[in-house]
Structure 1
């Protein structure tokens, strides 16, 4: 018995863009497009109806843009996996999408094999953008981030981490890969993956992208 195909929702106000992505994705036996939306409001409705595993979300759309739609979808479904589609690398819209809860972003002229790999990666709980790219984006838009740590009235989530897990979080915040983290701390990649998983679980973060953002927001990484 084979696993069910990944369910994908396409959100873009250009029909030809949706058609192109559908053709690429549905050429793969493990990927299935369950719906298409032309704006954010329609996307929210279809997410509730089709319960996709991954959402490809354009940002510049009428009625409701992709950033607001991403924010609302993530609020209603914290486990939602959303990839922002943008025309420009490291632009304000991609930054807004990550801050709203997306698991990554792709350029609209992405190569077919990169699109397919990104969808599978995000569905598996990883991110569709590297930690280094996320860090570069955060540095570019650093003025949009909080300038202080967590509220004093709330428990510090970092306190739940072991010293090693805190080191791992700092390394993720620096944009290091698992291999680079392993080399720094003399750990195998499988051990690093275990630590990363624990960090994400304890801090209730979806993926490495969110971990990089968390590290910046809490002042763990110098800007």
Structure 2
């Protein structure tokens, strides 16, 4: 049997942008846009009710300084919407889709709980990959973002070994267990063992949360 398409919610305050994203995403046989939201509050409300597989969230709605946002939630930006969703519907992953690639924006989004950060100017394939990855529990970052977010690995704290930090760095690049194993010349079984230990030490239960917590703790150099 063919798996059911991933159900998506688009949250952006520009109608034309939403229409373009819907046309793009609905063109993929495994993706289905089930709802749209024009501001952060509406996005949280719809996501909590519909429980889509992935939410595509704009970083900044126009009511937050760009002018002209719609009423009833326009004051909530994408970061706050992600935080609210993490509290009200933690099983619903969010991918940030934005024009902003600043390091501080990326870090804030990931710390809030976003499982992806994609630029609107990027190719459609990056968007598709991030959406599918988020639905599968992975972290999807645009290549430009990886270059900013994951620089050199800093000296690890006592709770993660140097090897475990390296595994987290590769996870942040969106690599699979097999790709991590190949990069570090390890077996996949060894990589899985590292993941179990990393999750336990960081007190998380998935790859996206592990990367987010490592960033929060300063285990990945953002310089």
TM-score under structure 2 normalisation?
0.75
Question: Equivalent residue of 1:18, what SS?
Answer: helix
- How far is the alpha carbon of 1:194 from its aligned partner? 2.1
State whether residues 13 and 38 of structure 1, in contact with CA within 8 Å, keep that contact through their aligned partners in structure 2. Answer: yes
Residue 206 of structure 1 is matched in structure 2 by 206
Q: Work out the CA distance in 1 between the residues paired with 2:192 and 2:108.
A: 29
Q: Work out the CA distance in 2 between the residues paired with 1:175 and 1:80.
A: 24
Q: Work out the CA distance in 1 between the residues paired with 2:33 and 2:150.
A: 32
Return the match for 1:86 from 73, 95, 98: 98
Alignment of 1:1-16 (within 5 A): 1-16=1-16
The runs of at least 4 aligned residues of structure 1 exceeding 6 Å deviation read none
Question: Equivalent residue of 2:92, what SS?
Answer: coil
Aligned length: 199
State whether residues 98 and 118 of structure 2, in contact with CA within 8 Å, keep that contact through their aligned partners in structure 1. Answer: yes
State whether residues 25 and 32 of structure 1, in contact with CA within 8 Å, keep that contact through their aligned partners in structure 2. Answer: yes
State whether residues 200 and 211 of structure 1, in contact with CA within 8 Å, keep that contact through their aligned partners in structure 2. Answer: yes
Taking a change above 3 Å as real, the CA distance of residues 23 and 184 of structure 1, as seen in their structure-2 partners, is closer
Taking a change above 3 Å as real, the CA distance of residues 199 and 183 of structure 1, as seen in their structure-2 partners, is same
Residue 18 of structure 2 is matched in structure 1 by 18
State whether residues 199 and 210 of structure 2, in contact with CA within 8 Å, keep that contact through their aligned partners in structure 1. Answer: no
Unaligned runs of 5+ in 2: 64-73, 152-156
Q: Work out the CA distance in 1 between the residues paired with 2:107 and 2:142.
A: 13
Taking a change above 3 Å as real, the CA distance of residues 90 and 222 of structure 1, as seen in their structure-2 partners, is closer
Q: Work out the CA distance in 2 between the residues paired with 1:175 and 1:37.
A: 33
Residue 154 of structure 2 is matched in structure 1 by none
Q: Work out the CA distance in 1 between the residues paired with 2:10 and 2:120.
A: 12
CA RMSD of aligned residues (A): 3.0
Q: Work out the CA distance in 1 between the residues paired with 2:116 and 2:165.
A: 20
Alignment of 1:108-123 (within 5 A): 108-123=120-135
Q: Work out the CA distance in 1 between the residues paired with 2:80 and 2:8.
A: 19
Return the match for 2:164 from 160, 169, 181: 169
TM-score under structure 1 normalisation?
0.75
